[in-house]
Structure 1
Amino acid sequence: MRASPVHVLRSLMFYAVFYTGTVFYVLAAVLASRVSQRLLHAIVRGWSHYHRSCARWLLGIRVVIEGEMPNEGVLVAIKHESFFEAIDLPMQMDWPAPLPKIELIRIPGWGYAALRYGMVPIERDGGAKTLRKMVSQARGFAAQGRPLAIFPEGTRVPHGHPGALQSGFAGLYKLLSLPVVPVAVNSGPLYHRRWKKPGTITVRVGERIEPGLPREELEARVLEAINALNS
């Protein structure tokens, strides 16, 4: 669907304001990462709040959360339709520990601050040693009461498409032996890569899935829950 001139103008304003501000937040995060993790945590949350405010007042996008997002050591499996859900994470949970692709950690400056904040980079081509390190880091964050946030589809999936889970998700669930909290998001129709539109993005928290399930049952339940807003 072609974007209207108003949507294009609002999107351009959003890009100018949000990404200009982001430069300062990243610089502040790099400096804070050398001083205090508490200060770094506050800056990251402030950046996420800044993004939410830009989306609200420049794009006309509201956010509604249905259910209670976890703030404990569980594996949070989130539907991935746009960059919105990644940037909004620190607003939805107190101190999440995301599991991003290793490529994001290699971004100069941002990657350093992200590791200091506490993330577990996923390196799909890594060997057994890399996997053991990743699981050890994830367990450490979970033991601190930090929810582990992951996009189990591995990449953005257009709204309305069920997608498929990455094969490593079930393995991670088994190795960590943690409950899974699936989360559905319908950001795709509004938060496009180029021209964004006003409306309401819903974040729906699904029922907790306990550890120890067979892979087929786990994947079926997660897929059903994270795609609950597809209609």
Structure 2
Amino acid sequence: MTIKTAIQAIRTALFYLVFIGQTAIIAIIIGTIGLVAGRTRLSWHLARYWCASNIAFLRTIAGVGTEVTGVENIPEGGCIIAAKHQSDWDVFAIFPHTGRPAYIVKKELMRIPFFGWAARSLDCIEVDRQRGSEAIPLMMAQAHSAIERGCRIVIFPEGTRKAALAPPDYRQGIVRLYRELNVPVVPVALNSGLFWGRNSPVIWPGKAKARFLPPIQPGLAPDIFLLQLRAAIEESTDELVLEAVEQGLDRPVDPGLAERIQALKDRQTTKY
């Protein structure tokens, strides 16, 4: 391990100490409020503080800056925000720009004491993958209620965090939401996995970027919609990743990532 890597590992550990510590405290506070009073303005203020403070801590402690563009593409009223998912940063970055978001989260997270209570009081929608085909109708019922309350649905269409430039794997949940809710879908591209990678023990310095893209209007055939969504997110994500690579990554690049970066460069060369 180089001295630079050791220093960044220490910075990462300090960030996680602050991040996990304050997350636990805020979850207890919001969860308790949720049990007693349900949805409140105080809970939303605390959630916004949690996002803003984590972005600040990530910048000052671990050296990861944040840049979000394209917010003007979010339409007024109800919509679905469908984002690439590479790290926990994605939640912090998207939340402040979504008005009143209703995140779709795994049932397992909702079972965590205080955290689950807090999530419910913040309009989160749970999906129980263990219930198979029964999970979608239950999710849809919650999504309809959230839209009626004035929420914007936030979903990570691949269902889990993916490594930067990993092959995409879009699930059918986003297609069902698009068909049944009949609202625009705003794709979101990002490159956060280059800095805060999935299962990476070290958070690397740099500038994580998210880009809200023009909305896909309702009414398309399901297969056409999914093709457009995937193309929009993946092409813009590739652009953000390549831009960061060309500016220089302040981190070691493992063979797997190096291979994916080279493949991206080859695709771009062939394209043009």
Same fold (TM over 0.5): yes
Identity, % of aligned positions: 29
Structure 1 match to 2:182: 177
- Contact 2:31 / 2:116 at 8 angstroms: preserved in 1? no
Structure 1 match to 2:267: none
Equivalent positions of 1:48-197 (< 5 A) are 48-68=51-71, 70=74, 72-126=77-131, 130-192=135-197, 193-197=200-204
Gaps of 5+ in 1: none
Over the residues paired in the alignment, what is the CA RMSD in angstroms?
2.1
The Cα shift of 1:198 comes to 1.1
> Following the alignment from structure 2 to structure 1, what is the Cα–Cα distance between the partners of residues 67 and 89?
13
Gaps of 5+ in 2: 243-272
SS of 1:100 mapped into structure 2? strand
In structure 2, do the counterparts of structure 1 residues 120 and 38 end up closer, same or farther at CA, with 3 Å as the change threshold? Answer: same
Structure 1 match to 2:224: 217
- Contact 1:89 / 1:96 at 8 angstroms: preserved in 2? no
> Following the alignment from structure 1 to structure 2, what is the Cα–Cα distance between the partners of residues 66 and 89?
10
The Cα shift of 1:38 comes to 1.2
The Cα shift of 1:59 comes to 1.1
- Contact 1:51 / 1:88 at 8 angstroms: preserved in 2? no
For structure 1, which segment, 53-62 or 118-127, has the greater mean C-alpha deviation from structure 2 after superposition? 118-127
Higher relative contact order (CA 8 A, sep 6+): 1
In structure 2, do the counterparts of structure 1 residues 150 and 143 end up closer, same or farther at CA, with 3 Å as the change threshold? Answer: same
Q: Which of structures 1 and 2 has the bigger CA Rg?
A: 2
Structure 2 match to 1:27: 28
Count of equivalent residues: 231
Could you tell me the TM-score, scaled by structure 1's length?
A: 0.91
- Contact 1:73 / 1:141 at 8 angstroms: preserved in 2? no
> Following the alignment from structure 1 to structure 2, what is the Cα–Cα distance between the partners of residues 129 and 30?
27
Amino acid at match of 1:225: A
> Following the alignment from structure 2 to structure 1, what is the Cα–Cα distance between the partners of residues 224 and 135?
27
Q: Deviations over 1:181-201 (max 9, x none)?
A: 000011001013320011111
Q: Deviations over 1:16-62 (max 9, x none)?
A: 12211222111111222223521111111111112111111101111
Q: Deviations over 1:97-148 (max 9, x none)?
A: 1011111111121011111211111123436765434223212222333210
- Structure 1 residue runs of 4 or more that deviate by more than 4 Å after TM superposition: 127-130
Could you tell me the TM-score, scaled by structure 2's length?
A: 0.78
Structure 2 match to 1:229: 237
SS of 1:204 mapped into structure 2? strand
- Contact 1:179 / 1:209 at 8 angstroms: preserved in 2? yes
